[in-house]
Amino acid sequence: MGAPMARNLLKARFPVTVWNRTRAKADALAKEGAKVAPTPKALAREVDVVVTMVRDSPDVEAVLFGKDGVLEGALPGLLVVDMSTISPEVTRSIAERAAAQGVHTIDAPVSGGEIGAIEARLSIMVGGDAADMERALPILSVLGKTIVHVGPHGAGQVVKLANQIAVVLNNLGVSEALVFAAAHGIDLEKTRQVIAAGAGSSWAMQNYAPKILAGDFRPGFMVDLQQKDLRLVLDAAFRLHLGLPGAALTHELYNGLQRDGGGREGNHALVKAIETLSGVEARQQR
């Protein structure tokens, strides 16, 4: 996700300095005009805004507060825009720790997957001070099409996790619908077309179902990452004593895919769990 986002900023003629734990990935962007910093600390000394896009809460904390991290090199007034999907609780803690050093933060997780990042049409949900969002808006506007300030620090992460609940349940609905039709011998592409044109339509039915029918499980968003997000959802639900049976069920189904080596497949591979339970494969016959 981070690489195409940085590439879009370069195309928009922003001066971009990058750092990545895998140096080769940063070097690839250097060929397109980016400057490569040796550490997050060194990067922070050269910019007014730092954008982080990493895997999980501990990764954000390490990049910001670890040895040679951003906060070691930050000047007062630096703005950190975290576009990762992490714990809302950790996000609020990060905001407090950064503010104590005169550093502003917003959480701005995204929805739209790798293709949304490549095509600069991400949906971005922003938590933090409105003034800081306005400061980041020229950057965010290059990366996404829908940018909404949803509340204080951590609110962006809450909305992103709510988005992930909807994503997995839509995936589950598509999976069950296709397997049900396949079990009855119905043409699956015709089934998909008519559902996609009616009340049962969803982004998943329009975009993931064709991949399922073609047997294409290359990831736009991996099962392993979907599971990380669902873990964050269920951890937050546990603290608030919320009942989220759909999210919990889908988490268990994805566990089975990970056990069978499917963690790096696309999250629409959820259909394989339903196929296994049903003994029916939902692929369009050619």
Judge if 240 and 259 occupy the same domain.
yes
Q: Look up residue 30 and give its two tokens.
A: 């250097």
Judge if 129 and 14 occupy the same domain.
yes
Judge if 147 and 162 occupy the same domain.
no
Judge if 61 and 81 occupy the same domain.
yes
Judge if 143 and 28 occupy the same domain.
yes
Last residue of a domain, one of 90, 118, 151: 151
Whether 125 is covered by a domain: the verdict is: yes
Residue 48 clears pLDDT 70, i.e. is over it: yes
Confidence of residue 113 (pLDDT cuts 50, 70, 90): confident
pLDDT for the residue numbered 266: 96
Q: Per-residue pLDDT tens for 204-232?
A: 999 999 999 999 999 989 999 999 999 99
Average pLDDT rounded to a whole number, residues 246-273:
97
Residue 286 clears pLDDT 70, i.e. is over it: no
Judge if 41 and 129 occupy the same domain.
yes
Return d(Cα 141, Cα 199) in angstroms, integer.
32
Judge if 189 and 94 occupy the same domain.
no
Q: Per-residue pLDDT tens for 141-184?
A: 999 999 999 999 999 999 999 999 999 999 999 999 999 999 99
SS3 106: strand
Whether 205 is covered by a domain: the verdict is: yes
Confidence of residue 284 (pLDDT cuts 50, 70, 90): confident
Average pLDDT rounded to a whole number, residues 279-284:
95
| Selected catalytic residue, list 11, 41, 145, 160 | 160
Last residue of a domain, one of 151, 168, 195: 151
Judge if 110 and 200 occupy the same domain.
no
Last residue of a domain, one of 122, 151, 180: 151
Judge if 219 and 127 occupy the same domain.
no
* Closest residue by Cα to residue 180 from 56, 277, 80: 277
Structural domain of 112: 2-151
Judge if 19 and 137 occupy the same domain.
yes
Whether 283 is covered by a domain: the verdict is: no
* Closest residue by Cα to residue 45 from 89, 77, 10: 77
Q: What is the mean pLDDT of the chain?
A: 96
Q: Per-residue pLDDT tens for 6-31?
A: 999 999 999 999 999 999 999 999 99
Report the CATH number at residue 182.
Answer: 1.10.1040.10
Q: What are the DSSP E strand ranges found in 41-173?
A: 49-52, 79-82, 104-107, 110-111, 122-127, 144-151
> What is the count of structural domains for the chain?
2
* Closest residue by Cα to residue 103 from 135, 82, 78, 70: 78
Average pLDDT rounded to a whole number, residues 37-57:
96
Whether 284 is covered by a domain: the verdict is: no
Judge if 40 and 181 occupy the same domain.
no
% of the chain exceeding 70 in pLDDT: 100
Residue 66 clears pLDDT 70, i.e. is over it: yes
State yes or no: is 35 an active-site residue.
no
Report the CATH number at residue 78.
Answer: 3.40.50.720
Residue 85 clears pLDDT 90, i.e. is over it: yes
Residue 195 clears pLDDT 90, i.e. is over it: yes
247: left (phi over 0), alpha (psi -120 to 50) or beta: alpha
Judge if 143 and 207 occupy the same domain.
no
